[in-house]
Structure 1
Amino acid sequence: MTTFDQILPITTEVLADHSDKIAQLEWLVINRDLNGRVRFIAPEQSPEDEARHADVKAVYQVLSERLAPHAYPVDAGMLYEANLELACQGASHYALNGFDNVRVVDRLATEANWARIAPETDGAPRIVFFSIKGGVGRSTALAATAWSLAQAGKRVLVLDLDLESPGLSSALLPPERQPMYGITDWLVEDLVDNGGAVFDDMVATSNLSHDGEIHVVPAHGSEHGEYIAKLGRVWMPKIQADGTRETWADRLGRLLQALEARVQPDVVLIDSRSGIDEIASACITDMGANLILLFALEGEQTWNGYRMLFEQWQRAHVAEQIRERLKIVGAIVPELDRVIYLEGLRENAYSIFVDTLYDEIAPADPAAIGPTAGGDGKWRVDDLVEGWNFDEADEGAPHYPWAVNWHRSFAGLRSLQGRLASIDAQEVQAVFGTLIGGVRDAIDSRSAS
């Protein structure tokens, strides 16, 4: 009896055994429906060519028998469309390993699409704070980063997109400054073309702003109202007047563009929900993020989660589109044995990056490189090694963690607002300095380019 995880390996094997027949097709779609059953979708002209039609049908017959119960009987398992675009119907798809003309399409109950990576935004840098598991101090780190950037004169736009566990705004805004509405209100009102009614009252300026500004867009407003009822509707797609369908992630992107046009920020900080769900998918893959901070605690739960995510990008052939934007953040690094803890974190992160995202080419050994490599008296790995890879000890590598040290003064969001209002900059530096410095460098390098 076949299980879901065996579908693609068996499909690849069966198609390889009949590669001569598959090669005759312009394209072929392996369609996995909501129940995890497979169909073939082939060019509609196939039935007109009886021999070719019989060949494809014969291949599906073999596959259906191998995949049972994850396939249909032959008569129900063969579909035809005029072109590949119609066959995919807007769903995410990727090439089956070893076959340039075969695409895999997954029909999902949700619109989370980890395999579609939006290009980086050209405007103000968008930085996403994300974690596989909650309780890692991600939102606290974002608040401290926003505070520090504002201290340095930056205009910061902060979005609380942890919609199912909101709270970031309380760290940056006292109760009397909370706006009337939030992101959830806009997403619901937008469904009935009423987003404009709440847009002007969903952004507030933090009292923590000094030389710069912190503009906060909360998950909900000062009066949350029927928040649970609204939350169940934010994921809805919108059917436009011309009949086109706009996904909730695209609606969210439209809101972000409108907020950027209004605030004109120097940087956008986005607090994503933890886990692999709709919100996280939109924040990481759909918002054009320039830097994605992956908060990590040392432990199997963290690394198993990131491995699953990285393997999905690898499987969908989109790893190269996102891997250079990633950076591991060592969350809540303990006071005792910090060096040992960070070494373990780095080793485990490196192992996963090597297995999934880095190219399979080891970096050159600097000791073996002459002093004139590159013609300028300096050695550069790029001069000598093809592929995208890093040494484990390379501090600039995505796997090398930026440390956020544990400190009792920053142990809770509820008390953070008052804490930041009177905090000493040196204390922030001691806890969040590496993270804040890395974010500043990312902003400055983007401005320079």
Structure 2
Amino acid sequence: MMTFDQILPVVKTVLAPHAALIARIQPVVINRDLNGRVRLIVSANVERETETWAGCRSIVKELAERLGAHAFPAEQMILLEDDMTSVLTDVPGFTLEGFEGVIVVDRLASEGRWASIAPVSDGVPRVVFFSIKGGVGRSTSLAASAWSLAESGKRVLVLDLDLESPGLSSGLLPADKRPAYGITDWLVEDLVNNGGAVFEDMVATSELAHDGEIYVVPAHGSAPGDYIAKLGRVWMPKINEQGKQERWSQRLSRLLDQLEQRWQPDIILIDSRSGIDEVASSCVTDLGAGLVLLFAIDGEQTWSGYRILFSYWHQADVVRDIRERLQLVGAMIPETSAIEYFANLKERSWDLFSDALYDEVPPGATTDELWNFDDSDEVAPHYPWPIKWHRGFAALTSLHTRLEQIDRQEVRSIYGTLVDGLNDFSGDIQ
């Protein structure tokens, strides 16, 4: 039985005998539509060459037969385009493994773009706090990190981009100090060129910091208003002044640039939604983060989820664009059997990273020119930055009160490795 996962292996098998033809007519686009059905897109010039056109017709005939429900009828399997560049502009695509000049383009119902990795921002350091699954203390860790960084004198900008499950601002701001608007308000107003109306009133300064500053940009304002209706619009693209479509993630990136320019932080901490959805995709791949913290607990959901994501980066041939930004964080290390738990977490992390991200070291070769680490290398991205489970930090809702009463030493005992790592990343090792 033919299923979606077999599409690309079948395409490779069918194309292999036609390598010379593919090289002559490239680029060739394998277009997977919203329903997972395949067509080939080639230059209109191909039809004018009798022998070449016959070869293309032979390819699509076999593809239609072998792909079954995942193909169009053979007579509809080829789309001709005068401008192939326009076909490949601003769409999620990747080179088909083993076939130079063959690009797989996925037409997706959502705007998740895990295969498109934006360059690291030229501005201040940006850090994304991400987790495959929720409930691992990610947002609490971000709040505590912001507090600790500010206590050391830094100006910290914090964004709550967990738009569908907001709450980070409650850990850093009392209810009466939250700003009137939030990220969702700006994204909706920006659609009608009215973002400036809310921009100055979407940032609040936390009173928790003494030596530095914590600027908090919440998902929504102090009065959420018609939040569900607004949330349904934040993902909308916009036609900009140049007449080009601007994806919601591009609009979000523009907002982040404006916030950075206005508030002049030393570091930006971004709380991402958990899971493999379009919000998380935008946070991890689109906002120019130089450091992406992968929160993990030792469970099958964690490892299978990260393996799916890493495998996709491999398939899309972008793994080298993202892997050096990644760092595993060992979340909620238990109080009992902590040594054994951490050892197992490190081993599972090493297995994942060495299989999916690190370069393979051939027999007799050295690692000098390869991206590879020993399993016990404490500066390797697979080596977990440990965060101890602590009853006083278990609930984000009470975190603001907790941080009002805490001292640096207590935060350091729980989050010390994480804070040191963030200081190192931002160029100020404590």
What is the TM-score with the length of structure 1 in the denominator?
0.93
* Counterpart residue identity of residue 342, structure 2: L
Q: Deviations over 1:152-197 (max 9, x none)?
A: 0000000000000000000000111100000000000000111011
Contact 1:238-1:245 at 8 Å conserved across structures: yes
Between 1:233-242 and 1:389-398, the stretch displaced more is 233-242
Q: Residue in 1 aligned with 2:198? A: 198
2 CA distance for matches of 1:206 and 1:76?
60
Q: Deviations over 1:253-279 (max 9, x none)?
A: 000000001100000000000001111
Alignment partner of 1:147 is 2:147 = yes
SS in 2 for 1:45: helix
2 CA distance for matches of 1:59 and 1:155?
59
Deviation at 1:362, TM superposition (A): 6.8
Q: Residue in 2 aligned with 1:215? A: 215
Alignment partner of 1:422 is 2:405 = yes
Deviation at 1:224, TM superposition (A): 0.4
Q: Residue in 2 aligned with 1:131? A: 131
Structure 2 unpaired stretches of 5+: none
Alignment partner of 1:183 is 2:166 = no
2 CA distance for matches of 1:422 and 1:64?
67
Q: Residue in 1 aligned with 2:3? A: 3
Moved over 3 A (4+): 362-365
* Counterpart residue identity of residue 394, structure 2: A
Q: Matches of residues 18-167 of structure 1 in structure 2 within 5 Å?
A: 18-167=18-167
2 CA distance for matches of 1:22 and 1:342?
50
Q: Residue in 2 aligned with 1:399? A: 382
Q: Matches of residues 299-378 of structure 1 in structure 2 within 5 Å?
A: 299-361=299-361
2 CA distance for matches of 1:124 and 1:89?
29
Between 1:15-24 and 1:339-348, the stretch displaced more is 15-24
* Counterpart residue identity of residue 350, structure 1: W
| Matched length | 429
2 CA distance for matches of 1:125 and 1:173?
23
2 CA distance for matches of 1:435 and 1:320?
24
Structure 1 pair 182–176 and aligned structure 2 pair: CA distance change class (3 A): same
* Counterpart residue identity of residue 410, structure 2: E
Q: Residue in 2 aligned with 1:265? A: 265
Deviation at 1:241, TM superposition (A): 3.7
State, as a whole percentage, how many aligned pairs show the same letter.
Answer: 59
- Aligned-CA RMSD value: 1.5
Deviation at 1:204, TM superposition (A): 0.3
Structure 1 unpaired stretches of 5+: 366-380
Q: Residue in 2 aligned with 1:276? A: 276
* Counterpart residue identity of residue 443, structure 1: S
2 CA distance for matches of 1:433 and 1:41?
53
Structure 1 pair 342–362 and aligned structure 2 pair: CA distance change class (3 A): farther
Contact 1:112-1:282 at 8 Å conserved across structures: yes
2 CA distance for matches of 1:306 and 1:186?
31
SS in 2 for 1:114: coil
SS in 1 for 2:427: helix
2 CA distance for matches of 1:147 and 1:242?
41
Deviation at 1:280, TM superposition (A): 0.4
2 CA distance for matches of 1:316 and 1:129?
23
Q: Residue in 2 aligned with 1:373? A: none
Deviation at 1:63, TM superposition (A): 1.2
2 CA distance for matches of 1:83 and 1:340?
59
What is the TM-score with the length of structure 2 in the denominator?
0.97
Q: Residue in 2 aligned with 1:247? A: 247
Q: Deviations over 1:8-57 (max 9, x none)?
A: 01111111122232222131110000000000001110111111011011
Q: 2:395 aligns with which of 381, 394, 412?
A: 412
Q: Residue in 1 aligned with 2:168? A: 168
SS in 1 for 2:396: coil
Q: Residue in 1 aligned with 2:231? A: 231
2 CA distance for matches of 1:408 and 1:264?
35
2 CA distance for matches of 1:310 and 1:158?
27
SS in 2 for 1:414: helix
Q: Residue in 2 aligned with 1:431? A: 414
2 CA distance for matches of 1:364 and 1:119?
34
2 CA distance for matches of 1:165 and 1:52?
54
Q: Residue in 1 aligned with 2:424? A: 441
2 CA distance for matches of 1:362 and 1:219?
48
1 CA distance for matches of 2:23 and 2:421?
49
1 CA distance for matches of 2:306 and 2:132?
7
1 CA distance for matches of 2:86 and 2:210?
53
Contact 1:362-1:389 at 8 Å conserved across structures: no
1 CA distance for matches of 2:82 and 2:350?
45
2 CA distance for matches of 1:265 and 1:285?
21
* Counterpart residue identity of residue 298, structure 1: D
2 CA distance for matches of 1:341 and 1:249?
38
2 CA distance for matches of 1:388 and 1:253?
30
* Counterpart residue identity of residue 143, structure 1: A
1 CA distance for matches of 2:313 and 2:81?
27
Between 1:425-434 and 1:18-27, the stretch displaced more is 18-27
Contact 1:363-1:391 at 8 Å conserved across structures: no
SS in 2 for 1:403: strand
Q: Residue in 2 aligned with 1:370? A: none
Q: Residue in 2 aligned with 1:374? A: none
